[in-house]
Amino acid sequence: MKKLIIVTGGAGFIGSGIVWKLNKLGEDNIIVVDEIDNIKWKNLLGLKFVDYVEKDDFLNDVINGKYDKFEIDTIFHMGACSSTTHPDAKYYIKNNYEYTKILCKYALNKNIRFIYASSAATYGDGSQGFFDNEDELEKLRPLNMYGYSKHLFDLWAKHNGLLTKIVGLKYFNVYGPNEYHKGDMRSFVAKAYEQIKSIGKVRLFKSYNPEYKDGEQLRDFIYIKDALNMTIFFYKNKNLSGIYNIGTGQPHSFNQLVTAVFRSLGLQPNIEYIDMPQEIKNQYQYYTKAELRKLFSCGYNLPITDFETAISEYVIKYISKNKYLADYDD
């Protein structure tokens, strides 16, 4: 029998994409772990896996030795509270930090490949750069508790000498099909599409940094299919370890993003600039750019989808038709 693969957060955005990608590789002996809701379950339609387990039950089963009898190849740990505005800091610690520590220790004790989701939020305002340099992790200053919970595990893994045995992936701004359940945490591509459909224009935050004009704030936006290619690269290359950025290395402005969405719909751009909420002004990132030299130096060589091409595919092929990754073969 094939070795078992476990994907936590497996009904979520990136997690369900990993299951989809594994299916395309002929892998279906997969356990999906998540905390499902009345929208997220649709991400699993059409995917092949052997079982679904709720996240709290799974952790209890791991602690109690239920999975000791299975031969597990890899744990993709994508499960986390990804909201940047959750009011309970202790929840971030328990759900994002402590849960990951327990699962990581288990994987290493059982010689299981452990690939986990860190985040570009760990870089904070970017003043220390966006280099996935493990030697300088302590210099980073996340701007919110979500970013800090991810950063805390990176530091714990480093201080315990584990980064030579596991893989941490710092995802930048991922967008694409299967994110429909994410509410306020959906990509701005999805939000822009919905605004265009509902009010015929898109509202962008004004800039409060003199270095950036309104709408010219820059982000490294990466299409889900490219993020998945990079993620699976580490599944295939089991000799690799450490922390790596998952992005394009080519930041684009929100004006460019919105213009691409309008073009995909055959419409002229109509943008309104609005005040930024006071509560996020102090944690707003004006610029992100994934440094990818480390990834490329390891042999990753797949082309990254052109920005406008990716947005057009997402808008026309998926979101406008309410389609999911599993609805197509490609």
- Active-site amino acid positions: 146, 182
Distance CA(126)–CA(298), nearest Å, equals: 24
What stretch of H or E contains 154?
helix 145-159
Name the strand (E) or helix (H) holding 118.
strand 113-119
Element (H, E) at 310: helix 307-313
CA distances for 305 relative to 24, 299, 328, angstroms:
19, 18, 18
SS3 per residue for 52-77: EEEHHHHHHHHHCCHHHHCCEEEEEE
